[in-house]
Amino acid sequence: MTRETAIDSRQEILRTAARLFQQQGYDATSMNDVAAALKLSKGGLYHHFQSKDEILFNLMDHALDITQARVIDAVRGVADPGERLRMLIRRHIEVVLSVRDREITVMLHENHPLPPTMRRRINARKKEYVHFMENLIAEVQRSRQSKGVVSPRAAAFALLGMINWIYQWYKPEGTLREEQLAREYTEIFFAGALQ
Amino acid sequence: MTRETAIDSRQEILRTAARLFQQQGYDATSMNDVAAALKLSKGGLYHHFQSKDEILFNLMDHALDITQARVIDAVRGVADPGERLRMLIRRHIEVVLSVRDREITVMLHENHPLPPTMRRRINARKKEYVHFMENLIAEVQRSRQSKGVVSPRAAAFALLGMINWIYQWYKPEGTLREEQLAREYTEIFFAGALQ
């Protein structure tokens, strides 16, 4: 097998597993279910992933790679901190609403307990993202000579909550569309957290 | 068995089940596990609840009763709409952070698919709460002659997200305490969503 095929298979396994976990619940989905959905032998599946925990860990890690690439790396080049934050909000909402990646990124909120080393790595990466937001918010507050009514930490968690909650209620056919949502959430956050 | 004992047993079963679901995951917890943790016979447990779905449904329904009593009913008597909204934010955060009720209220976010009739009832009650917030936000915007930069619907979902996300990151021993959190979230929301 070439290296490229190997990578493709892993991605395909992760995507299929994510879909099954969401349809049936993580615990109710067995390694057999995953193998069957992929028309793989159980041995073929275990060649890539030793356990369901390892699949979940890799899904979460991949969701964080997506966030890193589409949000953090995408905004780093923007010089003005206010514009950088505006772009972060828009990009993060895009990731949450992306049809292609939703199955994977939603897995970040799966609360099945992972083995300690895996859990520590995921939590460390989640914390890195919170710190990135917190530092950016502090930078924007300084650049606007904000009165500091809201701490960057509470502001970062408020913003994460607003955005990460979207998958709980958003319907693409609903009255509130992505464009309006991004604009109004940006309004709320800029007027509310940067005073 | 007196009626009161019957009610107490149901409550105790729900509390214990909620704790197990959170420790082990909903799908990984069996009716046997629940009965064993309560030192009940399986028959004793089935006397109260016919299935795990019925337990989950009752947990969610109970979480919504708690929200109704501690948030909606508590704020209805407040005449000034701004004060009513301020109290709603504080009360909702209290419910989310309540040590006693957290095990139950967190179950609202369990995404295990319930049978259609149960799911419809829970979704209808969740929607009622969103509408209550949305109407209150619209009332506050009118009373403040808001420019209407943010729609009451987006504002309601933003607020729900900020608050319902708290259980994902909050640590009672962390730097951000309940009092500061309630104050800063209120600041963000009032300055951001009511412009």
CA torsion, ordered A91, A95, A97, A101, to nearest 10 deg = 160
Q: Determine whether the interchain pair A151/B184 forms a contact, defined as Cβ–Cβ distance below 8 Å.
A: yes
Contacts of A150 in chain B (CB under 8 A): 184, 187-188
The predicted pLDDT at position A121 comes to 95
Average pLDDT over residues A80-107: 91
What does the radius of gyration of chain A's CA atoms come to, in whole angstroms?
19
Greatest CA separation for chain B: 61
* B4 or A25, which is more confident: A25
Of A24, A168, A184, the CB nearest to B154: A184
By CA distance, what is B107's nearest residue in A? Answer: A111
Chain mean position to CA B148: 28
Amino acid symbol at A41? S
By CA distance, what is B153's nearest residue in A? Answer: A176
**B64-112, pLDDT tens digit by residue?**
999 999 999 999 999 999 999 999 999 999 999 998 887 788 788 777 7
Q: Determine the 3-state secondary structure of B28 from DSSP.
A: coil
Contacts of B28 in chain A (CB under 8 A): 27, 112
Q: Where are the alpha helices (DSSP H) in chain B?
A: 3-24, 31-37, 42-48, 52-67, 73-76, 81-97, 99-105, 116-143, 152-164, 166-169, 178-193
The predicted pLDDT at position B7 comes to 55
Of A150, A164, A193, the CB nearest to B165: A164
- d(C-alpha B164, C-alpha A167), whole Å: 13
Q: ipTM score here? A: 0.90
Contacts of A151 in chain B (CB under 8 A): 176, 180, 184
pTM of the predicted structure, to 2 decimals: 0.91
- Comparing A114-118, A187-191, B136-140, the range with the smallest average pLDDT is A114-118
The predicted pLDDT at position B6 comes to 57
The predicted pLDDT at position A120 comes to 94
Contacts of A186 in chain B (CB under 8 A): none
Q: Is the pLDDT score of A141 beyond 80?
A: yes
Q: Mark residue A42 as left, alpha or beta (left: phi above 0; alpha: psi -120 to 50; beta: remaining).
A: alpha
How far, CA to CA in Å, does A71 sit from each of A74, A93, A95, A96? 5, 9, 8, 11
